[in-house]
Amino acid sequence: MSVVAPPLTLRPPRPSDRGRVAEIVRATGVFRPSELDIALEVFDGAVQQPGADYHALGAYDDGGWLIGFACYGPTPGTAATWDLYWIAVDPGTHRRGVGRALMAACEQAIVAAGGRLVVVETSSRPDYGPTRAFYQALAYGATARIPDFYAPDDALVVYTKRLVPSRRERPHG
């Protein structure tokens, strides 16, 4: 069974979406209060100076209501590696393809900008199980784990996905 996203408009968010971003992050129920502050800091950077350090993409329903967002950007000091800093979708719209649509659009934008690898960092906590399953379903592989990174018994789990083959992986022709 394939899940089809509801009618969506994907576009860069506006500064006026900041309050809604905060609502979405809180509603997920998994982020700590300090993480909300970080999400808003990254969001602010993305909307105030798009592309300077961060890029942002919002998913809007057919009524123009923000139901999800993602922030991503090139990883400093790397050759075409990008980080997905945040993705959050209103829990009332989970399992409808909104997150998949956001991820696909982010990946397309990253490739168009010359990116080749995406890195995603997340938690090992049990309440992040659906998040880890989401990345795995999108062909992200768990490539690193740092025990007790976020807190005792809360490891950092790093997922990666190669979007463009490296030179050694490309077929010769």
Query: Tell me: the pLDDT tens digits for 72-85?
Result: 999 999 999 999 99
Task: Report the number of secondary-structure helices (H) and strands (E) in the chain.
Answer: 4, 7
In the chain, the amino acid numbered 171 is P
Residue 25 binned pLDDT confidence (cut-offs 50, 70, 90): very high
Query: 9-166 has which fold?
Result: Aminopeptidase (3.40.630)
Q: Give me 108's structure tokens.
A: 């397309």
CB 28 within 8 A of CB 68: no
How far is C-alpha 124 from the geometric centre of its chain's CA atoms? 17
In the chain, the amino acid numbered 125 is R
pLDDT of residue 173: 52
Rounded Cα gap, residues 164 and 115, in angstroms: 8
